[in-house]
Amino acid sequence: MESTQINCAEACKNGCVLGDRCPNKEYISQATSFIKEKSLDDMLAIAEEARRKKMSAPPKWIIPDEI
């Protein structure tokens, strides 16, 4: 299976299935440093702020195209 044909969100839920051929390998170091530098309380505060921002945004209506 080629790396351009895989849906990482579904296929790699339990770990990367491509190993060294992973197209998202560059983000591993960023994610690792974020986890090391931020405390759990900081991460929860970031998530809460994102949730608050999303809840206060106006609703987005999706009108399907007519056939």
Per-residue confidence band for 16, with pLDDT thresholds at 50, 70 and 90: confident
Tell me the whole-structure pTM to 2 decimals. 0.55
Q: Tell me the three state secondary structure of residue 18.
A: coil
For residue range 42-67, list pLDDT tens digits in order. Answer: 999 999 999 999 999 888 888 887 65
The mean predicted confidence, pLDDT, of the chain is 86
Contacts of 22 (CB under 8 A, 6+ apart): 3, 8, 16
Ordered by start, the domain boundaries in the chain are 3-56
Predicted local confidence at residue 11, as pLDDT: 86
Task: Find tokens 């090391």 and name the residue.
Answer: 36
**Nearest-5° Cα angle at 12, 1 to 35:** 140
